[in-house]
Amino acid sequence: MTDIAKGPAPAAAPTGSPMVRFDQVTKSYGAFVVLDQLELDVAAGEKVAIIGPSGSGKTTVLRMLMTLEPINGGVIWVDGEPLTSMRRNGALVPADARHLRRMRGKIGMVFQHFNLFPHMTALKNCMEAPCTVLGLSKAESEARGRELLVMVGLGDKLQHYPAQLSGGQQQRVAIARALAMRPKVMLFDEVTSALDPELVGEVLNVIRKLGAELDLTMLMVTHQMGFAKEFADRVCFFYGGKICEQGPPAKLFGSPENERTRQFLRAVLEAT
């Protein structure tokens, strides 16, 4: 398995420095190793789907990238710079708050449970960070929030509170809120898993639209194999804290090489 994980870079990855690089990244909780020397390069503009059984470390990969979890070893590179450390006199030292904030600005994340601010309207949810973090004026951030909410199909729900919206609508607000910070990398962690089946499509449609219209690098953890197949440039199958197999969706879904991948895909297909 290890040799596959560390095998040659997939065909989809272009030359030049990647937008995101996990370099021997290790993450453990106590003695329990969640991710073991993870190696993963994601090119600018690439859309990577992360699949795998529950507990295989998929969420952890995204959370480390969003700086929500500290890492125990290795280096994560984003846009050519180390994420949680910085160069000082040639050596890598732990990043200070300023560096972390600058790096975080390149990344946006959408959560499984939306995590919208319940006391703010959809529009206010999208304005908060542009106002306070980017220093945009109220009018500018309002225009930006309005534009993005229109883009996700919620132009008529600007003044609604999260509790007044369906799950699918809330998740679309969350996507607009993340986009309002103009990130280069977007992380999606099972963004349709908490939704009723009939609401999944509207959220996937929005993600398709982002893929087509915006120049974003995307990492998405998903159980929607059909969507991964059609949307992703590359699919990574995680198993036991490692990338067990990865490749273009046609290859990975069509003729998986690894027995574990085959087992997982069989199980998922049976469930649906």
Q: Which stretch binds Mg ion (CB under 5 A): 17-25, 55-63, 113-121, 209-217?
A: 55-63
For residue 58, state whether it binds ligand ADP (rule: CB under 6 A): yes
For residue 67, state whether it binds another protein (rule: CB under 8 A): yes
Rounded distance, CA 252 to CA 249, Å? 5
For residue 60, state whether it binds ligand ADP (rule: CB under 6 A): yes
Q: Which stretch binds ligand ADP (CB under 6 A): 49-57, 130-138, 201-209, 224-232?
A: 49-57
The full 3-state SS of 197-263, as one line of letters, equals HHHHHHHHHHHHHHHHHCCCEEEEECCCHHHHHHHCCEEEEEECCEEEEEECHHHHHHCCCCHHHHH
Which residues make Cβ contacts (< 8 Å) with residue 196, sequence separation at least 6?
Answer: 167, 168
Applying CB under 6 A, which of residues 2, 6, 17, 55 lies at the interface with ligand ADP?
Answer: 55
Q: Which stretch binds ligand ADP (CB under 6 A): 3-11, 55-63, 206-214, 224-232?
A: 55-63
Q: Which stretch binds ligand ADP (CB under 6 A): 47-55, 86-94, 178-186, 211-219?
A: 47-55
User: Cβ distance 21 to 76 under 8 Å?
Assistant: yes
For residue 56, state whether it binds Mg ion (rule: CB under 5 A): no
DSSP state of 45: T
Q: Which stretch binds Mg ion (CB under 5 A): 54-62, 64-72, 179-187, 200-208?
A: 54-62
| Residue 200 token pair | 């999944």
For residue 64, state whether it binds ligand ADP (rule: CB under 6 A): no
Least separation in angstroms between CB 57 and ligand ADP: 4
Q: In the stretch 103-132, what mask flags binding to another protein with x, by CB under 8 A?
A: -xx-xxx-x-x-xxxxxx-------xx--x
Of 60, 61, 57, which is closest to residue 22 (Cα–Cα)? 61
Quick count: other Cβ atoms within 10 Å of Cβ 137?
10
User: Cβ distance 234 to 43 under 8 Å?
Assistant: no
Q: Count residues near ligand ADP (CB under 6 A).
A: 10
Nearest residue to Mg ion, by Cβ distance, number only: 59
Q: What angle do CA 92, 242, 75 make, to 5 degrees?
A: 5
For residue 29, state whether it binds ligand ADP (rule: CB under 6 A): yes
Taking CB within 5 to 8 Å according to partner kind, which of ligand ADP, another protein, Mg ion, none is near residue 167? none
Applying CB under 5 A, which of residues 10, 51, 59, 122 lies at the interface with Mg ion?
Answer: 59
Nearest residue to ligand ADP, by Cβ distance, number only: 59
Of 245, 197, 210, 207, which is closest to residue 50 (Cα–Cα)? 245
Half-sphere exposure for 23 (CA within 13 Å, toward CB)? 16
Which residues make Cβ contacts (< 8 Å) with residue 162, sequence separation at least 6?
Answer: 114, 116, 117, 118, 122, 125, 170, 173
Per CB under 8 A, residues contacting another protein are 66-68, 101, 104-105, 107-109, 111, 113, 115-120, 128-129, 132-133, 161-164, 177-178, 181
Per CB under 5 A, residues contacting Mg ion are 59
